Structure 1
Amino acid sequence: MSFGLPSVKVKPENVSNVKVQEGPFGVPDPFVAGMGATKPKLGQSHPLEHSEKNYHLNVDKMNLAMLRNVQGLHAPMRLQMERKFASKIGHLPFLPRSNMQMEVLTGRHVEIGFEDILNVPEFCEVSGQPHAMVERSLGLL
C-alpha cells in the first residue's frame, strides 16, 4: 500500500555516457576549458549526489503528499499558496534580506546551516549608496 506517497528510493535521473574533450595527452586541457568547466560535463560522481542536492525539495514533496492524504487537497494547496506569497515579498535592494516568514513556513528556522554562520550582514562584500542601488534595480542607471 503506497498511499500515493513519492518513492523514498534513490533513482539516478541522468544516466548517459559523457564525452569529455581531451587534450593531446589524454586528459582535459584546463587552459582551454578551465578548471571548473570540466566537472559539470562529467556528470554526477555518486548516485546519492542528486538526491542530496534536492533533499529539501524531496522532503517537502513527501510532507505535502502525506498532508494531502490525511487532510485533503485544501491543506497542501493552502501551504503552497502561503509559501508563494512569502517568497514574493519585496524589499529595498540596499537593505539586508531575511526570509524569516519563508523559513518558518518550510520549517528551516530550527536548522543551523552553512549559510546561517557565514552569511551574516557584517561579512557582506556588497555595500553601496542606497539611491544608486535603487536606481540600478529599476533600470535607471
Structure 2
Amino acid sequence: MSFGLPSVKVKPENVCNIQPQEGPFGVPNPMIAGIGSNKPQIAVSHPLEISERNYHLNMEKMNMAMLRNTQGLHAPLKLSMEMKFANKIGRLPFLPSSNLQSDVLTGRYLDIGFEDILNTRDLCEVAGQPHAVVERSLGIL
C-alpha cells in the first residue's frame, strides 16, 4: 500500500561516465578548458549530492501527495494555484525580491540556510543603475 507517495530512497537520475577532454599528457588542460569546466561532465562526487540538490522539490511532491490523500484533490490544487500566483509577482529588475509569500506557502521561512546568510544585499557587488537595468531587460539597450 503506497498511497501514491514518492519514494524516499535516493535514486541517481543521470549516472553517466563521460571522460573529460585530455591534453597531450593524459590530463585535462586547464588553460583551454578552464578549471571548473570538467565538473559538470564528471559523474556526481557523492551519492547524496543529487538528493540534496532536489530536496525541496522532493519535499513538495511528498507534501502534495499527503495533502491529496488526507484532504482530497482540492487542497493540493489550491496550494499549487497560490504558489503559481506568488511566483508571478513581479518587481522592477533592479529591486531585490524577498519571495516572502512563496516562502510562507512552502514553509521555508522557518529554515535558516546558507542563502539567508551569505546571499544578502549588503554583500552584493553589482548594484547597477536602475534606468540601465530596466532598459536592458526591455531590450532597448
- Same topology, TM > 0.5: yes
Cα deviations by residue, 1:81-104 (Å, 9 ceiling, x for unpaired): 111110110111222211000110
2:52 corresponds to which letter in structure 1?
A: E
Cα deviations by residue, 1:52-99 (Å, 9 ceiling, x for unpaired): 100111111111111111111111111111111101101112222110
State yes or no: 1:105 paired with 2:105.
Answer: yes
1:54 maps to what in 2? 54
Q: Within 1, Cα distance between the matches of 2:120 and 2:39?
A: 30
- Structure 1 stretch 90-99 or stretch 54-63: which is displaced more? 90-99
State yes or no: 1:20 paired with 2:57.
Answer: no
Change (3 A) 1:69 1:94: same
- Structure 1 stretch 23-32 or stretch 74-83: which is displaced more? 23-32
Q: Within 2, Cα distance between the matches of 1:20 and 1:136?
A: 36
TM-score w.r.t. structure 1 length? 0.92
2:3 corresponds to which letter in structure 1?
A: F
Aligned residues: 141
CA RMSD of aligned residues (A): 1.4
Structure 1: which 5+ residue stretches go unaligned? none
Give the fraction of aligned pairs with identical amino acids, expressed as a percent. 72
1:33 maps to what in 2? 33
1:75 maps to what in 2? 75
- On the 8 A contact 2:12/2:47 being kept in 1, the answer is yes
- On the 8 A contact 2:68/2:76 being kept in 1, the answer is yes
Q: Within 2, Cα distance between the matches of 1:35 and 1:109?
A: 36
Shift of 1:126: 2.2
Cα deviations by residue, 1:104-137 (Å, 9 ceiling, x for unpaired): 0110001111111122222222223323322222
State yes or no: 1:126 paired with 2:126.
Answer: yes
Q: Within 2, Cα distance between the matches of 1:10 and 1:56?
A: 14
Question: Structure 1: which 4+ aligned runs deviate by more than 3 Å?
Answer: none
SS at match of 1:39: coil
Structure 2: which 5+ residue stretches go unaligned? none
